[in-house]
Amino acid sequence: MQPVRKAVFPVAGLGTRFLPATKAVPKEVLPLVDKPLIQYAIDEARAAGITDFIFVTAKGKSALEDYFDSSPELIRSLKAKGKTDLLKAIEPSNMASGSISYIRQQEALGLGHAVWCARHLVGDEPFAVILPDDVIAAETPVLRQMVDAYSETSGNMVAAMQTVPSQISNYGVIDVAEDHGRLVKMAGMVEKPPADEAPSNLAVIGRYILSPQVMRNLSAMKPGAGGEIQLTDAIAAEIASGANVYGLRFDGERYDCGSKAGYLQAIVAFALARPDLAGEFRDFITTTLAEAETGAKAAE
Ligand code: G1P
Identify the residues whose C-beta falls under 6 Å from ligand 1. 111, 131, 134, 171-172, 191, 203-206, 232, 258
Residue pLDDT, tens place only, 82-141: 999 999 999 888 888 889 999 999 999 999 999 999 999 999 999 999 999 999 999 999
- By alpha-carbon position, which residue is closest to atom 15 of ligand 1? 111
Task: Give the pLDDT score at 1.
Answer: 86
- Centre of ligand 1 from the C-alpha of residue 206, in Å: 6
Task: Give the pLDDT score at 96.
Answer: 85
Q: Where are the domains of the chain?
A: 6-258
CATH of domain 6-258: 3.90.550.10
Look at the pTM and tell me if it is higher than 0.85.
Answer: yes
Reported as a pLDDT band with limits 50, 70 and 90, residue 234 is: very high
Residue 197: CB atoms within 10 Å: 10
In sequence order, what are the residues at sequence separation of 6 or more whose Cβ sits closer than 8 angstroms to the Cβ of residue 31?
A: 37
Q: For 224-228, what is the mean pLDDT? A: 93
Reported as a pLDDT band with limits 50, 70 and 90, residue 242 is: very high
Reported as a pLDDT band with limits 50, 70 and 90, residue 240 is: very high
Distance from C-alpha of 11 to C-alpha of 16, rounded to nearest angstrom: 13
Q: Choose which residue among 56, 111, 115, 134 to substitute to test ligand 1 binding: the one with the highest number of ligand atoms within 8 A of its C-beta.
A: 111
Residue pLDDT, tens place only, 50-60: 999 999 999 88
Residue pLDDT, tens place only, 141-191: 999 999 999 999 999 999 999 999 999 999 999 999 999 999 999 999 999
Burial 279-288, CB ≥16 within 10 A → b, else e = eebeeeeeee
Task: With beta carbons less than 8 A apart as the criterion, state whether 192 and 226 touch.
Answer: yes
